[in-house]
Structure 1
Amino acid sequence: MSQSGSSSEPGRPELVSMSIARRLVEAIRAGSYPAGSRLPVEVELAREFGASRVSVREALSALQFAGYVESRRGSGTIVLSATPSNPGESRVVRRMPVDHLQLLEARLVLEPQTIALGACDPDPTALRLARQLIDGMALSVSAPEIDVDTDLRVHTALVETCRNTYLVGECRGLLKAASDSYFQNARSTAWQDGELLASWVREHRAVWEHIAAGDAESAMRASREHLLSVVYRFADDDTLATADRARMATIHARFSKFDLTSDLRANERPQS
C-alpha cells in the first residue's frame, strides 16, 4: 500500500488509510459532517483523498469501530457522533461493586456459548460486519487521534453472528452494562498499552475465524480465553482493592477449569 501524510510515530510514515481516517475524524469534529448526515460514497472519498477505494474502506472500518459512523444498508455511511468515546479519568484504589463481579461471571458463561451457537450457522451479514470492525480496530489502535477506548462494539458484533435473538438480546444487555463508567475507566487505561491492544485484535480475529470456519468448540474456547485475559488483568490491577483482586483471581481459576468439550457435547447426549 502506498504511504503518505504525517506520522503518528516519529520516523514512521503514516498509512494512507490512517491518514484518511484522521482527516475524516477532523472533518466530523469540525461539523463538516454533523450527526445524522451521510458521508460521500467510497468512490467520491477515494477521488477526494487521491487514494484507492481499499484505503478508503479501511479508514471507514476504523471510524465504524470507533463509533463515529455506521454503515446502513441502502443509506450508506451515516455519522453517529463527533465524540463517540469518553476519555477515562485517573483511577485510585477502589472497590468493585458486587454486581460488576457478577456481570463478568455472566459474560463468561453466556458470551462464549452464544458465539459457539453462532458458529454453527452464522448470520452472513453480521459476520461481515464483525470482520469490518476487527479490521477497523487493528487500524485504530495505531492511530491515537481517532480517540477510541473500547472494543465492546467488536464483542457485540461477534455475538450478533448468532441467529438466536433471545441469546443475542441477553448478551447485548450484558455488554451495555459493561459500558458503564467503572469499566470504561479500566478500558481507557488498557488502551494505552499497545502490546495488549495488539493481542486483543489477534484474539478477536481468532474468534471470528473460528466462527467463519463453523468451528463452534474453538470459537467458544477463543472467546472465553479472551474474556479470561480481561479478568486476569483486573486480578493483577494494583489500583483494585485486595479483596476484589482475590475474587477476580478466583473467577479466573474457576472458569479456566471449564471443560469446553463437555459444554458443547452435553446437549448431544441421547436421553435415557
Structure 2
Amino acid sequence: MDNPAIFGTIERPRRLPDEIAQTIMSAISSGELRIGDKLPSETEMSERFGVARTVVREAVSLLKFDGVVDAKRGVGAFVADRSERTSFRISPACFEKRREIVKLLQLRTSVQSGAAALAAEFRSDEQLEVIKSTFAELLSANQRGPEDAVEERVDAELRLYRLITEASDNSYFCDVVSMIEANIQTHLRSAFLKNTAACEFKDSVVEEHRAVVQAINDGDAEKARTATRRRFANAATSLAERKDFA
C-alpha cells in the first residue's frame, strides 16, 4: 500500500442508551447533578439528545439498576446516594453478557489448566518472579476491596494468567488466551467487573490463585493443572449459581 496512513483506528460506536447513561454519569461526576437532584423528564431529555423517549427510558433504567438514580412512578428520576446501597445490583442488559462469561470461563478451565501445567515445567526464573509480582498486585487489590480496587483486581488477574500462559512456551495457548481476554475487554468488561465485585473478593478465591502460583513455583505440572482447573471451574459455577442470574 502506497499510503499506510490512509486507514485510521475505527472507534466502536456505543449504543444510544449507553451514551446517554454515560452523559448523565459525567454530569453527576462533575457536580452538575448532585445527590437528590431530579433529572429532566423523558420528553425533555429526548428533545435535548435528539432521540426517542424509549431510548431515554432504557438509559434511565440502566442507571436505576446500577443504583445511580432512584425512579419514582409519576414523580421522576433522582440522583441517588450510592454510598447508601445495601446490595450489589446489575442491569438486565448484563444478564446475557454474564452467560457469555460463563462460557468463556468454561473454555478457560481447559485452556488455562493446560497452560499452567506446561508453565510449571518450562517457566524461567525471570518469568516466575514476574508471575509472583503480579500475584502480589492481585493480593493488594483484593485487600483494598471491591469499592476501591475492582478494576485493578480484574486487570491483575487477567495479567497473571496471561503471564502464566506465556510461560508455557506454547504459542497456541497464547493465541487462545489472547482471544479470550480481548473478548472480555472489548465486549464483557462491565459485566466482568460487576461479577468480580460480587463474587471474587473472597479469601477462598485468593487461596485458589495462590495454589496455582505455588504449584508453578514448585515445578509440579499436575498440581498446577488441577489447581487452575479448580479455580476456573469454581468461578464458572459460582457465576452460574448466583440467585440474580437469569
TM-score, normalised with respect to structure 2: 0.53
Change (3 A) 1:210 1:119: same
Match of 2:144 in 1: 143
Structure 1 position 201, deviation (Å): 2.2
User: Whole-Å Cα distance in 1 between the matches of residues 129 and 209 of structure 2?
Assistant: 14
Runs of 5+ unmatched residues, structure 1: 1-87, 242-272
Change (3 A) 1:104 1:141: closer
Match of 1:231 in 2: 236
Instruction: Output the aligned Cα RMSD.
Output: 2.8
Counting only pairs closer than 5 Å after superposition, residues 152-167 of structure 1 correspond to structure 2 as 152-167=158-173
Please identify, of 153-162 and 206-215, the stretch whose mean Cα deviation from structure 2 is larger. Answer: 153-162
Residue pair 1:134, 1:201 contacting (<8 A) in 2 also: no
Runs of 5+ unmatched residues, structure 2: 1-87
Residue pair 2:98, 2:192 contacting (<8 A) in 1 also: no
User: Whole-Å Cα distance in 2 between the matches of residues 118 and 124 of structure 1?
Assistant: 11
Structure 1 position 116, deviation (Å): 0.6
Calculate percent identity across the aligned residue pairs. 19
Deviations 1:143-169 (A, max 9, x none): 254553412122212222211223222
Secondary structure of residue in 2 paired with 1:221: helix
Match of 1:117 in 2: 118
Residue pair 2:101, 2:192 contacting (<8 A) in 1 also: no
Structure 1 position 221, deviation (Å): 0.4
Q: Does 1:172 align with 2:173?
A: no
Please identify, of 98-107 and 136-145, the stretch whose mean Cα deviation from structure 2 is larger. Answer: 98-107
Structure 1 position 212, deviation (Å): 1.5
Task: Select which of 200, 206, 224 maps to 1:201.
Answer: 206
Secondary structure of residue in 2 paired with 1:95: helix
Deviations 1:228-256 (A, max 9, x none): 11111112122322xxxxxxxxxxxxxxx
Higher relative contact order (CA 8 A, sep 6+): 2
User: Whole-Å Cα distance in 1 between the matches of residues 210 and 191 of structure 2?
Assistant: 24
User: Whole-Å Cα distance in 2 between the matches of residues 98 and 185 of structure 1?
Assistant: 10
